[in-house]
C-alpha cells in the first residue's frame, strides 16, 4: 500500500534532493494523515457517545489533534518548497522545522485538556457502557495507526524528514494509547470495573510526554544543534581522500532546513606545492560536495610548511602537550617566528565545550608546558570554539 501510494502520487520519486520532490512526498504524507485521522476521530467520537467513555473521547480528540498536525505539516512542506528569494537567500526550508514545532505544541495543548477532563472523570465517575461497536472501532484504529506509523517512517526516511519521522513516532504512540483504552473497555465489559478515568489520565500523560519530546527534537535544528558526528567524520574522511590534503579543521555546518545545508572548512596543504594546483583541488572539493551531497561547501586553504624539520617536530610535540590538558584539544596553523633572544610559536587551539577552563587559563596551561621544555619559546595562542561534534 505504501509503495503504491508513493509510485502513484510522487512524480520523480527517486530524486529526493529536489525540493519539489520533497514537497510532493510531504503533501502525500499530510493528505493521508488528514484523511485517516479524521476517519478515526469520527469513528471514536461515535463510540464515545454510545458508551459515555471519557477515555475513548480522549483518544478521539487525540486523532483530531493528529489531523490538525497533518494540516500544519502539509502547509509546512508547501512553504518549505518555496525557492530562495532576495529576502531569504538561503531558502525557506526551515518552515518544515517550524511546522514540526507547531505540531508538537498542538499535541501538548490537547494533552493538557485531556488531563483536565480525565481528572474530572476520576473525581466524579459516571457509568460507562462498552458495546461491540466501540470495541471494533478501537481494534480497527490500532491496525490503521500501525500502518500509518510504517507509512510515515518510510516516507520520512526517504526524504530524511525529522517532521515525518516524529509523525511516525506519534502514530506508534497512538497504538499504545488506543490499546490502553481497548484494555479499559474489555475490563469494564467483562469485569464491571470502571477504570475509564484512570486510563484517560494515563493517555493524557503519555501524550504530554510525547509532545515534550517532539518539542525538544524540533527545537534542536532551530537553535543550531551540532551536526551528526557521523556526518562530520564522513566529511573529514572524504576531504582527506583528495590528493595533497594533509589535514582539516574549523569545520562549521549551518542547517537552513532539509536539503539546505551550508558548510565551511579549513584544509591544510603543503606550502611548498604549486598554489594553482592546490587551488584546483580546493575547487574540486567544493564542486563534488555540492553535486554529490547538495552541501554548499566553502573551503579555505591553509598552507603548511612540511620541509622544515624544526617546525614539524614542534607541531608534533605541541599536539602531544595539549592532549595532556584534554584529549580532544587540537592545534593548527602553527607559525614559527625566530628572533635573536626568543622564538614565538603562533598557533590556534580548538577548545572542547566540556573543558572547564577559561581561555586565559588554557593559554597559561599550554604556555607553561612549552616553557618547561623550551625556556626561550613563547606561545601566541588564539583559542577557537568547536562548532562540530567530535567523532568517537
CA distances from 117 to 14, 42, 104, 180, 197 (A): 46, 19, 20, 17, 8
Give me the domain span that covers residue 147: 2-223
State the pLDDT at residue 68. 75
C-alpha cell at 135: 470495541
Mean pLDDT of 127-140: 76
Q: What pTM, to 2 d.p., does this model score?
A: 0.63
Share of the chain above pLDDT 70, in %: 97
Phi, psi of 252 (to 5 degrees): -130, 130
Are 244 and 319 contained in the same domain?
no
Are 255 and 273 contained in the same domain?
yes
Phi, psi of 33 (to 5 degrees): -65, -40
State the pLDDT at residue 376. 92
Mean pLDDT of 193-215: 79
Where among 303, 329, 361 does a domain terminate?
303
Strands (E), the chain: 245-255, 261-270, 295-304, 330-338, 343-351, 377-385
Are 235 and 118 contained in the same domain?
no
C-alpha cell at 383: 583559542
Cross-strand bridge partners of residue 348: 332, 382
Are 298 and 198 contained in the same domain?
no
Mean pLDDT of 351-362: 90
Are 338 and 389 contained in the same domain?
yes
State the pLDDT at residue 39. 92
- b (16+ CB within 10 A) / e for 192-201: eebbbbbbbb
Which residue has 487525540 as its cell numbers? 62
Are 59 and 135 contained in the same domain?
yes
Listed in sequence order, the residues at least 6 apart from 70 whose beta carbon sits closer than 8 Å to its beta carbon are 29, 30, 31, 32, 33, 34, 37, 167
- pLDDT level of residue 151 (50, 70, 90 thresholds): very high
Are 162 and 135 contained in the same domain?
yes
State the pLDDT at residue 392. 46
Are 185 and 198 contained in the same domain?
yes
Q: Give the integer Cα–Cα distance in Å for 369 and 378.
A: 11
**In terms of C-beta distances under 8 Å and separation of at least 24 residues, what long-range contacts does 367-373 make, across chains too?**
369/321, 369/324, 369/325, 370/318, 370/321, 370/345, 373/317
Are 240 and 354 contained in the same domain?
no
State the pLDDT at residue 126. 64
The answer to whether 70 and 34 have CB atoms below 8 angstroms apart is yes
Are 211 and 247 contained in the same domain?
no
Here the CATH number for the domain that contains residue 230 is 3.30.70.1350
**In terms of C-beta distances under 8 Å and separation of at least 24 residues, what long-range contacts does 31-34 make, across chains too?**
31/70, 31/74, 32/5, 32/70, 32/148, 32/151, 33/66, 33/67, 33/69, 33/70, 33/73, 33/148, 33/152, 33/167, 34/67, 34/70, 34/71, 34/74
Q: What is the pLDDT of residues 368-390, one digit of tens each?
A: 999 999 999 999 999 988 777 55
C-alpha cell at 154: 518510510
pLDDT at 123 over 60: yes
- Considering Cα of 241, then 246, then 249, then 252, what sign does the dihedral take? negative
Are 214 and 232 contained in the same domain?
no
CA distances from 248 to 204, 207, 284 (A): 49, 45, 16
Here the CATH number for the domain that contains residue 94 is 1.20.1510.10
Q: What is the pLDDT of residues 30-57, one digit of tens each?
A: 899 999 999 999 988 888 887 777 767 7
State the pLDDT at residue 297. 93
Q: Give the integer Cα–Cα distance in Å for 188 and 91.
A: 54
Where among 172, 189, 223 does a domain terminate?
223
Give me the number of domains the chain comprises: 3
C-alpha cell at 62: 487525540
Where among 303, 320, 342 does a domain terminate?
303
Q: What is the pLDDT of residues 301-345, one digit of tens each?
A: 988 888 889 889 999 999 999 999 999 899 988 988 888 888 999
The answer to whether 223 and 216 have CB atoms below 8 angstroms apart is no
Are 299 and 347 contained in the same domain?
no
State the pLDDT at residue 269. 92
pLDDT at 139 over 70: yes
Averaged pLDDT score across all residues of the chain? 84
Amino acid at each position: 500500500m505504501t509503495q503504491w501510494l508513493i509510485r502513484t502520487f510522487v512524480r520523480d520519486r527517486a530524486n529526493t534532493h529536489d525540493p519539489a520532490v520533497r514537497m510532493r512526498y510531504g503533501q502525500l504524507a499530510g493528505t493521508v494523515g488528514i484523511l485517516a485521522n479524521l476517519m478515526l476521530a469520527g469513528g471514536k467520537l461515535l463510540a464515545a457517545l454510545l458508551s459515555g467513555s471519557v477515555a475513548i473521547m480522549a483518544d478521539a480528540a487525540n486523532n483530531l489533534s493528529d489531523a490538525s498536525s497533518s494540516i500544519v505539516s502539509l502547509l509546512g512542506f508547501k512553504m518549505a518548497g518555496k525557492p530562495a528569494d532576495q529576502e531569504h537567500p538561503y531558502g525557506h526550508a526551515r518552515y518544515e522545522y517550524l511546522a514540526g514545532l507547531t505540531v508538537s505544541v498542538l499535541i501538548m495543548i490537547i494533552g493538557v485538556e485531556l488531563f483536565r477532563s480525565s481528572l474530572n472523570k476520576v473525581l466524579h465517575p459516571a457509568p460507562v457502557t462498552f458495546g461491540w461497536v466501540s470495541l471494533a472501532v478501537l481494534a480497527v484504529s490500532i491496525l490503521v495507526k500501525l500502518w500509518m506509523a510504517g507509512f510515515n517512517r518510510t516516507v520520512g526516511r526517504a526524504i530524511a524528514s525529522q517532521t515525518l519521522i516524529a509523525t511516525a513516532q506519534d502514530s506508534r504512540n497512538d497504538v499504545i494509547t488506543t490499546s490502553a483504552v481497548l484494555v479499559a473497555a474489555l475490563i469494564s465489559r467483562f469485569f464491571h470495573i470502571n477504570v475509564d478515568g484512570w486510563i484517560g489520565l494515563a493517555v493524557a500523560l503519555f501524550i504530554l510526554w510525547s509532545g515534550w519530546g517532539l518539542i525538544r527534537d524540533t527545537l534542536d535544528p532551530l537553535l543550531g544543534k551540532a551536526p551528526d558526528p557521523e556526518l562530520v567524520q564522513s566529511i573529514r574522511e572524504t576531504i582527506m581522500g583528495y590528493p595533497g590534503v594533509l589535514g582539516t579543521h574549523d569545520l562549521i555546518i549551518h542547517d537552513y532546513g532539509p536539503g539546505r545545508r551550508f558548510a565551511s572548512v579549513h584544509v591544510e596543504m603543503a606550502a611548498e606545492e604549486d598554489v594553482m594546483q592546490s587551488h584546483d583541488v580546493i575547487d574540486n572539493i567544493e564542486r563534488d560536495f555540492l553535486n554529490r551531497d547538495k552541501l554548499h561547501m566553502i573551503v579555505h586553504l591553509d598552507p603548511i610548511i612540511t620541509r622544515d624539520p624544526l617546525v614539524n617536530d614542534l607541531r608534533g610535540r605541541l599536539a602531544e602537550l595539549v592532549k595532556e590538558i584534554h584529549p580532544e584539544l587540537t592545534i593548527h596553523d602553527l607559525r614559527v617566528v625566530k628572533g635573536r633572544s626568543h622564538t614565538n610559536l603562533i598557533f590556534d587551539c580548538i577548545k572542547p565545550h566540556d573543558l572547564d577552563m577559561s581561555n586565559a587559563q588554557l593559554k597559561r596551561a599550554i604556555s607553561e608546558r612549552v616553557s618547561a621544555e623550551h625556556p626561550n619559546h613563547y606561545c601566541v595562542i588564539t583559542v577557537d570554539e568547536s562548532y562540530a561534534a567530535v567523532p568517537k
